[in-house]
Structure 1
Amino acid sequence: MALDYRKCAEEIYSHLGGKDNIASAAHCATRLRLAIVDIDKVDTKALENVEGVQGVFSSNGQLQCIIGTGTVNHVYDEFLAVTGLSAATKDDVKAAAAANQPLPQRMVKTLGDVFVPILPAIVASGLMMGLVEALAKAMPGFGATDWFAFLDMVSNTAFAYLPVIVAVSAARVFGGNIFLGAVVGLLMIHSNLTNGWNAANGYKVWYLFGHARIGDYVLGQINQLGYQGHVIPVIIAVWFMSKIEKKLHDVVPAVVDLFVTPLTTVLVTAFLTFIVIGPIFSTLETYVLQAAQVLITVGAGIGSAVMGAVYPITVVAGLHHMYNVIEAGLLASKDFGNLNIWMPIASAANFAQFGACLAVAVKTKNPKMRTVAIPSALSASLGITEPAIFGVNLRLMKPFIAGMIGGAIGAWFGAISKLGASAYGVTGIPGYLTITNPAVYTIELAIAGGIAFALTMVIWHEDPDDIPAAEPEGLEAPKEVAFTTDKGEVLVPVNGKVVPASEIPDPMFSAETMGPSIGVEPVEGKVYAPFNGTVSMIFPTKHAIGIQSDDGVELLIHVGVDTVNMEGKGFGANVEQGDKISTGDLLLTFDRAEIKQAGYSDTVVVVITNKDALTDIKKAA
């Protein structure tokens, strides 16, 4: 008897603890995927007994109800109708599930989600900026040419307008309008404001409400100061913007929403940013800089060592550009011999991150990681560490810590050697152009970079799952039998090692909830037809395919575990729904390295989905 999709959906909904307990809902090839607010309110045992539900489990913050190929989409449609929820993507459910994670994990994930997409811009600009600055220092005449002016503009654009790039990415992460996010980013570096890097030269103040005071606080005071080089205040501002925008969309009548919501969102965010968010962050930043200035003057090089270790953390926080104020003050002070003694500290810290990143490039067996690490290391050697820190070291953590240790020891050596520079703004290799003692500076860089490199080689070990296996060449479609049934044989559809269902890294597939199953640990990214038949279903992301033999065996071939979250990246299909297939035909292709890089298992699951129509089923494993 055919499943009553509506009844199934209603019964599932009745056991979930109410609509308010469902954050989001989506589906994949076989499962209804739900992000639940409070899992304790869900009656899991009752869900397992719902007709049509073949199993229930929780994974990565998602409640997953396995329903089956060709059925789950109908149940999902009815579920949306019953609950009144809007259709969501797998990313929506994944984001909603992540919202239930502990706060520190959410914060780290949020920073990663904001920064990872903008890494290409940072890498390109960082490399070019270091090279252009080095050329200008090495050849003073070049600095006066039109070529320098043009290349300097091209190279520093991403950093000069970093708040805008960060704002757009943050708006995407927080679910706000990315164009409103761009407006907020542009607002924070508007040309009417004093450039943030020139704050030491003074700036004007706007008094929106005259000079009305509450104690020492002047109501409506706005410092005409930009936020060039800052990250955290931009992210906070866009977070508030996104919250305000969403709230307004809920309460503003649709007829005026188009212009009332954007106008109000930008205006309110502007007030919050310049009256609350900016000043608070600036105050905290001032304390950090004052502490740094005290630390680098502490005797025996201990303070410098501390700052050499802490410096990359301030890069992560977006505070490092403001150190130019300290450096300018040092150059102007006779107490320090008109020398910039901060530059050797920053240089040691930066070069240590170079050493750690270079070690990753040397040690990794993952070609994609090496592709990122090599140019990032080169950028760090030229003093631009954001690509190395955000793209490699911080992501892997141990190289970041190794870099902190190398930076601390290198900075300590620079301090006791009384290194200094005659300018500021350049570190690493370009620092040779301003350093007082190039020979000692060479030793400092060798210490910082060498220690970080050696430590990373020793303490960082690549996750074996991140190392893609080499694809064998010249393989033909496998001839091994996966299943024997009364309606014919089913060959193994993928070249690789056949494993029993119990070894499939997914509780639903390992329990054979959908039917008799085997797993295949593939040695190549190809799926072949295991019999003559017809393609009954291809999931849009091409990670799963349903086929039926001419004799009546229905089969689901599912590439990887949770690979639906990859949204089709790395997958391809050589057939379409309804196509006739012959044994050995190429059905799907998949990039094993891409799957591993995304953090998923590439085990191919093969399931007979119409076991009740068959008898005497025998499995290969």
Structure 2
Amino acid sequence: MAMDYAKCAKEIFDAVGGRSNLVSAAHCATRLRLVTVDNSKIDMKKLENIDGVKGVFSNNGQLQLIIGTGTVNKVYDEFLKVSGMTAATKEEVKAAAVAKQPVFKRMIKALGDVFVPILPAIVASGLMMGLVEALGKAMPAFAGSDWYGILDLFSNTAFTFLPILIAVSAARVFGGNIFLGAVIGMIMIHPNLINAWSVASMDAADIPVWHLFGFSIRQVGYQGHVIPVIIAVWIMCKLENWLHKHVPEMIDLFVTPLCTVLITGFLTIGLIGPVFSTAETYVLEFASWIITVGHGIGAMIMGAIYPLTVVCGIHHMYNVIEAGMLASDGVNIWMPIASAANFAQGAACLAVGLKARNYKTKSISIPSALSAALGITEPAIFGVNLRFMKPLVCGMAGGAVGALLGSIFHIGATSYGVTGIPGFLTTLDYSAQYAIMLAVSFAVAFALTWFTWKEDPEDAKVTAAKTDDAPTAEPTATEETAEEVTVDGTAKKLYAPIQGTIVPRNEIPDDTFAAGVLGNGVGIDPEEGVVVAPFDGEISSVTDTKHAIGITGPADMEVLIHVGVDTVNMKGDGFELLVEEGQKVKAGQKLMTFDIAKIKAAGYSPVAAVLLTNSDDYPEFKVVKTGKTQRLEEVFTV
């Protein structure tokens, strides 16, 4: 019996609380995605029992109803009619869902969104910097060589110009012009300004100032800073967007950029920077005082809060404290605190990397943990721990315990600027104690993270993909020969639409597909980026994002071919559809090409779900192929 789409839509509309409880609605290949005002007004039991709704779950502020390919679009059209809403894109729904979250969560998410794209640069520089510094300490002759000079240049470039990287990424996140964002970042570290890391060693009277608007503005840069750059670019984006709306179009091209840079530049140098700099001074004075508080309590407190000062970008200024200690006593007792904190954050990051199933999380976490072990924690903190919060807190606990031990052991360094594993080179008289301190910091942070942090189920769907997959979507020799295979496209069989390795349905890295909610079938881990028709039939649906196709065939079989997990987020990048809805196709005819390398680079699994969405109608359904498969080999029968 044909499904009554209008009835399904009306029942969904009533169950979610009507128009007054709806913010936006969109759909993907299989799911109706809604954002509601008040989740308590939703009748979940009623939703789950609606004919046509195969499952309901809530994730990241979205209510997602699993309906199925070829059907969800029809239900969606009826839902718009009954609700009086206008169509929204998945991105608009996502934005609406985010807007409902608490301010603190939105701020943390924004920080993560800013840092994730620039992590490869920070991770590469962090690892290189740690290794170069360690080699320089171990081999004094190398430290004075040309090789050291050029490698040091390569390694510290990303950190020297970090405000520019942050500014570009922040402008993208906040919806501004990324090149104007870059200009704001460049202003903050312009060579005419005194380098921020040099200011601490200067007398206040020697720092030049500008006298503008009746105020004195210090000519100081903001190298290594994070928060002031993000705040400045956020203001820039708000201002730019406001000007675009209010400036006449004929002069917008030059008026808006000019006013945006001038106003934001003055605010940044005259207000945002100085306010943050004043806050820095208080933090440094507090840090100097607290580590002298008796019986290691102060050291424990600083071991805990040290990562928060990294977030604020002021940890580089601790060199002033360390230099003062070395000058007065010849022993740097601050270094063990920083080492314990850094090592613990690396341990928490490693626990996330080892526990996570999400490919992108793994690929970021493990190298970031290594970077932290070498003393460079920005990748671990900004890319992983701060994003998930629990690992950051667990790392703070590990840092606190380690710093307390370091104080009890009276560990002291003979230099500064090096922490983590390279720190052994400056703590030779305390090597055993230093090793114990790092081990305890690591163990506490790792164990706490392992047992308290749980991966978001939606993130867990994107599992690590096999590294031997072919990275190309270009036609191969196999492609030319596969289409010469003779098949009975009208038989009650489904032939493999993709060449690769067959994955049992329950092992498809997507909970919905794996559970069989959308029908029985298999997954295929692709070896080439080509999809062909699995039988003679008609294209029943295609997605705007080009990653999924519905096709009907012999004996009314309805098949969904969904390439990759969560690849809807790629918005069609890396996919090319060769057919359209309603088109008749023959078995072996090309339907789509896709780029396996792009899918992996975006952090998604390329495993394709090949599902018979009406498999309940076929009690004789049987999978007849496992392991490796060529295109057009028989996979299942009905």
Give the counterpart of 1:564 among 568, 572, 596.
568
Give the counterpart of 2:399 among 404, 407, 411.
407
Map of 1:431 onto structure 2:
423
2:287 corresponds to 1:292: yes
Greater mean deviation of Cα atoms: 357-366 or 186-195: 357-366
Number of equivalent positions: 567
Map of 2:484 onto structure 1:
none
Give the counterpart of 2:316 among 314, 318, 321.
321
Is contact 1:295-1:303 (8 Å) kept? Answer: yes
| Letter in structure 2 aligned against 1:175 | G
CA distance in 1, matches of 2:297, 2:495: 64
Map of 1:518 onto structure 2:
519
Greater mean deviation of Cα atoms: 150-159 or 417-426: 417-426
Map of 2:412 onto structure 1:
420
CA distance in 2, matches of 1:492, 1:471: 26
| Letter in structure 2 aligned against 1:533 | G
CA distance in 1, matches of 2:550, 2:535: 12
Map of 2:167 onto structure 1:
167
CA distance in 1, matches of 2:620, 2:576: 27
Map of 2:297 onto structure 1:
302
Greater mean deviation of Cα atoms: 126-135 or 521-530: 521-530
| Letter in structure 2 aligned against 1:321 | H
Is contact 1:413-1:444 (8 Å) kept? Answer: no
Greater mean deviation of Cα atoms: 409-418 or 361-370: 361-370
Give how far 1:121 is off. 0.4
CA distance in 2, matches of 1:293, 1:588: 61
Gaps of at least 5 residues in structure 2 are 45-52, 470-489, 623-638
Give how far 1:72 is off. 5.0
Is contact 1:162-1:228 (8 Å) kept? Answer: yes
CA distance in 2, matches of 1:63, 1:33: 6
User: Deviation per CA, 1:8-51, whole angstroms, max 9, x where unpaired?
Assistant: 9xxx9xx9969xx967x765446776767789999x9xxxxxxx
Give how far 1:340 is off. 2.5
Map of 1:217 onto structure 2:
none
Map of 1:548 onto structure 2:
552
Map of 2:430 onto structure 1:
440
Is contact 1:301-1:412 (8 Å) kept? Answer: yes
Judged with a 3 Å threshold, the aligned counterparts in structure 2 of structure 1 residues 492 and 290 are, in CA distance, closer, same or farther, namely farther
Greater mean deviation of Cα atoms: 578-587 or 53-62: 53-62
CA distance in 2, matches of 1:397, 1:148: 37
CA distance in 2, matches of 1:363, 1:39: 31
Judged with a 3 Å threshold, the aligned counterparts in structure 2 of structure 1 residues 71 and 466 are, in CA distance, closer, same or farther, namely closer
Greater mean deviation of Cα atoms: 312-321 or 116-125: 312-321
Map of 2:209 onto structure 1:
205
Give how far 1:240 is off. 0.6
CA distance in 2, matches of 1:137, 1:366: 37
Judged with a 3 Å threshold, the aligned counterparts in structure 2 of structure 1 residues 139 and 242 are, in CA distance, closer, same or farther, namely same
2:378 corresponds to 1:386: yes
Judged with a 3 Å threshold, the aligned counterparts in structure 2 of structure 1 residues 587 and 207 are, in CA distance, closer, same or farther, namely closer
Gaps of at least 5 residues in structure 1 are 45-52, 211-219, 474-486, 511-516
Map of 2:104 onto structure 1:
104
| Letter in structure 1 aligned against 2:293 | V
Map of 1:49 onto structure 2:
none
Is contact 1:557-1:607 (8 Å) kept? Answer: no
Map of 1:533 onto structure 2:
537
Instruction: State the superposition RMSD in angstroms.
Output: 5.2
Is contact 1:360-1:457 (8 Å) kept? Answer: no
2:367 corresponds to 1:375: yes
Judged with a 3 Å threshold, the aligned counterparts in structure 2 of structure 1 residues 300 and 64 are, in CA distance, closer, same or farther, namely closer
Is contact 1:491-1:531 (8 Å) kept? Answer: yes
Judged with a 3 Å threshold, the aligned counterparts in structure 2 of structure 1 residues 209 and 293 are, in CA distance, closer, same or farther, namely same
Greater mean deviation of Cα atoms: 597-606 or 452-461: 597-606
CA distance in 2, matches of 1:456, 1:504: 28
- 1:459-608 equivalences under 5 Å are 460=450, 463=455, 465=461, 489=492, 491=494, 505=512, 518-520=519-521, 522=523, 524=525, 529=533, 531-535=535-539, 537-549=541-553, 555-558=559-562, 563-568=567-572, 576-577=579-580, 578=583, 580-582=585-587, 606-607=612-613
Is contact 2:519-2:612 (8 Å) kept? Answer: yes
Is contact 1:304-1:415 (8 Å) kept? Answer: yes
Give how far 1:345 is off. 1.1
Judged with a 3 Å threshold, the aligned counterparts in structure 2 of structure 1 residues 450 and 285 are, in CA distance, closer, same or farther, namely same
User: Deviation per CA, 1:139-168, whole angstroms, max 9, x where unpaired?
Assistant: 333333332222211110100111110111
CA distance in 2, matches of 1:282, 1:547: 62
- 1:251-400 equivalences under 5 Å are 251-332=246-327, 334=328, 337-359=329-351, 370-395=362-387, 397-400=389-392
Give how far 1:439 is off. 4.2
CA distance in 1, matches of 2:409, 2:55: 68
Give how far 1:245 is off. 0.5
Give how far 1:470 is off. 8.0
Q: SS of the counterpart of 1:168?
A: helix
CA distance in 1, matches of 2:340, 2:511: 48
CA distance in 2, matches of 1:41, 1:189: 51
CA distance in 1, matches of 2:248, 2:74: 33
Q: SS of the counterpart of 2:550?
A: strand
Map of 2:239 onto structure 1:
244
Q: SS of the counterpart of 1:460?
A: helix
Identity rate of aligned residues, in percent? 52
User: Deviation per CA, 1:346-391, whole angstroms, max 9, x where unpaired?
Assistant: 1222223334445555666777655444432332222111223333
CA distance in 1, matches of 2:74, 2:268: 44
| Letter in structure 2 aligned against 1:207 | H
Is contact 1:353-1:380 (8 Å) kept? Answer: yes
Give how far 1:454 is off. 5.8
Q: SS of the counterpart of 1:136?
A: helix
Map of 1:131 onto structure 2:
131
Map of 1:48 onto structure 2:
none
Is contact 2:351-2:449 (8 Å) kept? Answer: no
Judged with a 3 Å threshold, the aligned counterparts in structure 2 of structure 1 residues 340 and 59 are, in CA distance, closer, same or farther, namely closer
Judged with a 3 Å threshold, the aligned counterparts in structure 2 of structure 1 residues 175 and 100 are, in CA distance, closer, same or farther, namely same
Q: SS of the counterpart of 2:519?
A: strand
Give how far 1:127 is off. 1.1
CA distance in 1, matches of 2:346, 2:72: 53
Is contact 2:538-2:552 (8 Å) kept? Answer: yes
User: Deviation per CA, 1:373-421, whole angstroms, max 9, x where unpaired?
Assistant: 4432332222111223333444455544443233222222222333333
| Letter in structure 1 aligned against 2:549 | I
CA distance in 1, matches of 2:606, 2:337: 41
Is contact 1:27-1:72 (8 Å) kept? Answer: yes
CA distance in 1, matches of 2:231, 2:584: 52
| Letter in structure 2 aligned against 1:125 | S
Q: SS of the counterpart of 2:398?
A: helix
Is contact 1:557-1:605 (8 Å) kept? Answer: yes
Is contact 2:463-2:605 (8 Å) kept? Answer: no
Give how far 1:126 is off. 0.6
| Letter in structure 1 aligned against 2:150 | F
CA distance in 2, matches of 1:467, 1:444: 37
Is contact 1:340-1:420 (8 Å) kept? Answer: yes
| Letter in structure 2 aligned against 1:126 | G
Q: SS of the counterpart of 2:417?
A: coil
| Letter in structure 2 aligned against 1:135 | L
Is contact 1:244-1:265 (8 Å) kept? Answer: yes
Greater mean deviation of Cα atoms: 277-286 or 531-540: 531-540
Map of 2:144 onto structure 1:
144
Give how far 1:90 is off. 3.2
Query: Normalization by structure 1: what TM-score?
Result: 0.74
| Letter in structure 2 aligned against 1:113 | D
CA distance in 1, matches of 2:36, 2:138: 60
CA distance in 2, matches of 1:121, 1:470: 24
Is contact 1:237-1:277 (8 Å) kept? Answer: yes
User: Deviation per CA, 1:437-491, whole angstroms, max 9, x where unpaired?
Assistant: x142442243333442365247515657565598999xxxxxxxxxxxxx98575
Q: SS of the counterpart of 1:207?
A: strand
Is contact 1:350-1:384 (8 Å) kept? Answer: yes
CA distance in 1, matches of 2:309, 2:435: 20
